[in-house]
Amino acid sequence: MARPPALPVEDKLHIVLSILAGESTIAAAARKHGLSEQTIGNWKKQFIQGGREGLSGTARTERATARESALKAEIDNLRAALDEVRVQLRVWMNSEEQAFPSRTLR
């Protein structure tokens, strides 16, 4: 069964607000728009959770900043590891050149 095309955010918002205002039930909205009750229930939960986060001060920007900090730290660790491997490779290549003369020198 093919998935129905995604509704624009404005349509989702209208559906959720009509449910919260008591103008419609989840079941009625699902029938009217050809969606599952679970889908509309999920939208309602997401809407309420987003409002809570916005009002509590733990907005997405704060979570994004924490995620960015963690990613930057990981990048720094990976760069340090890469630098270490580069140094080890140079040492290994230099020791190989001294231990075994190249064919052009024979």
> Which pLDDT tens digits describe the chain residue by residue (106 residues)?
566 678 899 999 999 999 999 999 999 999 999 999 999 999 999 999 988 887 877 656 667 788 899 999 999 999 999 999 999 999 998 887 666 666 665 5
Residue boundaries of the structural domains of the chain: 7-58, 69-101
The pTM of this model reads 0.52
The span from the CA of 37 to the CA of 58, in Å, is: 29
* 25, 32 contact by CB (below 8 A): no
Q: What CA dihedral angle connects 53, 56, 61 and 66, to 10 degrees?
A: -100
| Placement of tokens 């040492």 in the chain | 91
CATH number for the domain formed by residue range(s) 7-58: 1.10.10
Residue 65 backbone zone (phi > 0: left; psi -120 to 50: alpha; other: beta): alpha
